[in-house]
Structure 1
């Protein structure tokens, strides 16, 4: 399995071209699921797990991996309610999300495929609010579902969402009456986390579900407001992994558009590491922040709004 995860430099180059690699896996049954390979540290045969008393039912235990204690979540049970039948034959996808390392228990790992974010589509309309998908795609005439990991985590390991009073005080110095911050994220949970953080200090927001929708919104707003555009929309907070157009490509498109290029851009993602810092500079974004720390995010928002006044 370790050979699956080689050539990190190649993945870095793919990301700058709206491309990425998708690790395909199965839970229970023939349905294919996918995860961005750049979030995956390793794939291993399911190790022995230590019980974690009082934990969420979907947490199957703790694995000791290279001297690190890693929580292992049954991804099938978390998303479908049906646990992996035989853990002894299962695999663990060890990932890094939201500043934490965790393992996802899956029944089988298939292969890695090279994809373009334009091939990744939002979930079909009418799917309802109870699903765990951020996107879908098609491969070899078979549907591949991409799971909303932020939603899984919010239900199993809730994150702290309250903004401290100290950070809130920073926002009181700003004139927020005529501005709007655009939030672009394919996860409804992540969008609402950011929205609540900003609304806690009365910063108005607009929401987009992917990079293409965000770019269209900005272009329409720029035509509507003309020279007042940057005063009314000074800041974009964007995820990196999004259907149709990723955050890197969105940032590059904004900086290539004379009407938009003065917009400040915070890339806010569960991806982390030096790779993102390099890509931030490459595409012209202003800052990268790993999800999700409300004080850090709002402090950055305050800073860039101050630069816009």
Structure 2
């Protein structure tokens, strides 16, 4: 266990092409879950928690860790299960999502595994809309479920997706009626947030669940003889996605003669440990962390200004 805890900070600095490392953990029972190590700051034995009034029932309390006060959320409760017991034997995964630091209470931490995104797959069809998964994979003949943390956070502390009137006014009357904004994100919550934001700008949207789906869609347009910049204003892509991550998607676009001029905006919750050098290496045009509707709308307007120059 100590080797896992000691190595997390070093591993969070790694960003590889279409690769990820998963921190595996359990909540209740035998099912193993995963979270991307790039999101993890550290893992520690659950400290003493301070109760706060009128807290969300999923928040078990707050902890004072390294000079910061961090909310600790019970991942079992957050995903529809019973509350975790014996907190003194549980662990807290300190992670950074969407510009904030949170603590996720888990029952046990298992190990870290290095994988390729091509081995990570969307949840099985027929699993419905009530699950809290963005992806699944198999390790040693065991199903690993990757939790949609963005959905968990959205339910506990909803984020507004309303674009301010000031920002909307900047592009009023400039909307390209004949072009779409392509969105690639494995989280249904994130896809809908982005979609609603872009639609407020008066633009049409097409959504895809991962990088592979987005690339296949773009290649389909090319195979129909269409000029990509006549069809697509820009691609807004998450980085962490099953099948193909946003880095690899961007690199594939830049390597294709008919796609390479497409404007790519990387939009990710990997804000705290994000590697700007990798963005430049794969050739993305822009990057913003999730999720601020005004910033996202402004990034789209930036592309629109270039389009109209």
Match of 2:92 in 1: 92
Residue 63 in structure 1 maps to residue 63 in structure 2: yes
Q: 1:77 to 1:45 in 2, by over 3 A?
A: same
Confirm or deny: 8 A CA contact 2:8 2:42 kept in the other structure: yes
What residue ranges of structure 1 are gaps of 5+ in the alignment?
A: none
Matched with 1:130 is 130
Superposition deviation, residue 135 in structure 1: 0.2
Q: Which residue of 2 aligns with 1:293?
A: 292
Conserved 8 A contact 1:4-1:112: no
Task: For residues 88-139 of structure 1, give each alpha carbon's deviation from its aligned partner in whole angstroms, at most 9, with x where no partner exists.
Answer: 1100000000000000000000000000000000000000010000000000
1:222 aligns with 2:222: yes
* 1:274 positional shift: 6.1
Tell me what 1:259 maps to. 258
| Distance in 2 (alpha carbons) for counterparts of 1:83 and 1:246 | 33
Mapped to 2, the partners of 1:258 and 1:291 lie a distance apart of 30
| Secondary structure, counterpart of 1:162 in structure 2 | coil
CA contact (8 A) 1:51 1:61 kept: yes
Structure 1 pair 24/61, CA: closer, same or farther in 2 (3 Å)?
same
Matches within 5 A, 1:1-309: 1=2, 2-8=5-11, 11-12=14-15, 15=16, 17-227=17-227, 229-273=228-272, 275-309=274-308
- 8 Å contact from structure 1 (residues 174, 306) kept in 2: no
Q: Matches of 2:11 and 2:32 in 1, distance apart?
A: 24
Cα distance, 1:150 vs structure 2: 0.8
Question: Distance in 2 between the 1:33 and 1:231 partners?
Answer: 42
Mapped to 1, the partners of 2:161 and 2:23 lie a distance apart of: 30
Per-residue displacement from partner, 1:253-301 (whole Å, max 9, x unpaired)?
0000010011111100110146432211010001111100000000000
TM-score between the two structures when normalised by the length of structure 2? 0.96
Give runs of ≥4 in structure 1 deviating > 4 Å. none
Q: For the residues of structure 2 that align with 1:256 and 1:216, how far apart are their CA atoms? A: 15
Q: CA deviation at 1:306?
A: 1.9
What TM-score do the two structures reach when normalised by structure 1?
0.96
Q: Is the 8 A contact 2:118 2:243 kept in 1?
A: yes
Contact 1:235 1:305 in 2 (8 A): no
Report if aligned partners of 2:266, 2:287 keep a CA contact under 8 Å in 1. yes
